[in-house]
Structure 1
Amino acid sequence: MLREAISTERAPQAIGPYEQAIKWGGLLFTSGQIALDPVTGTLIDGDISAQTRQVLENLKAVLEAGGSSLNHVIKATVYLTDLNSFAKMNEVYAEYLGNVKPARSTVGVASLPRGASVEIDLVAITL
Structure 2
Amino acid sequence: MTEQQRTTISTNQAPGAIGPYSQAVQYGNMLFTSGQLGMDADGQFAQTASEQAKRSLLNVKAILEAAGFGMEHIVKTTVFLKDMNDFQAVNEVYASFFAEPYPARSAVQVARLPKDGLVEIEVVAIKS
**Same-fold status (TM-score > 0.5):** yes
Q: Trace 1:58-69 onto structure 2 (pairs within 5 A).
A: 58-69=59-70
- The answer as to 2:12 corresponding to 1:9 is yes
Structure 1 contact 60–70 (Cα < 8 Å) conserved: yes
Instruction: Return the TM-score normalized by structure 1.
Output: 0.94
Instruction: Return the TM-score normalized by structure 2.
Output: 0.93
Please report how far the alpha carbon of residue 89 of structure 1 lies from its aligned counterpart in structure 2 after TM superposition: 0.4
Please report how far the alpha carbon of residue 41 of structure 1 lies from its aligned counterpart in structure 2 after TM superposition: 1.8
Which structure 1 segments of 5+ residues have no match? Answer: none
In structure 2, C-alpha distance between the alignment counterparts of 1:98 and 1:24, rounded to whole Å:
25
Q: Deviations over 1:18-57 (max 9, x none)?
A: 000000011000000001210x22323x111100000000
Residue 76 of structure 1: aligned partner = 77
In structure 2, C-alpha distance between the alignment counterparts of 1:90 and 1:37, rounded to whole Å:
20
Structure 1 contact 70–98 (Cα < 8 Å) conserved: no
Please report how far the alpha carbon of residue 126 of structure 1 lies from its aligned counterpart in structure 2 after TM superposition: 2.8
* Secondary structure class of the residue paired with 1:51: helix
Aligned residues with identical type, % of pairs: 48
Residue 42 of structure 1: aligned partner = 44
Q: Deviations over 1:4-28 (max 9, x none)?
A: 0000111111011100000001100
Structure 1 stretches of at least 4 aligned residues deviating more than 3 Å after TM superposition = none
Note the aligned Cα RMSD (angstroms): 1.1
- The answer as to 2:98 corresponding to 1:100 is no
* Secondary structure class of the residue paired with 2:43: coil
In structure 1, C-alpha distance between the alignment counterparts of 2:43 and 2:91, rounded to whole Å:
25
Instruction: Give the letter aligned to residue 6 of structure 2.
Output: R
Which structure 2 segments of 5+ residues have no match? Answer: none
Q: Deviations over 1:67-97 (max 9, x none)?
A: 1111110000010010011000000000002
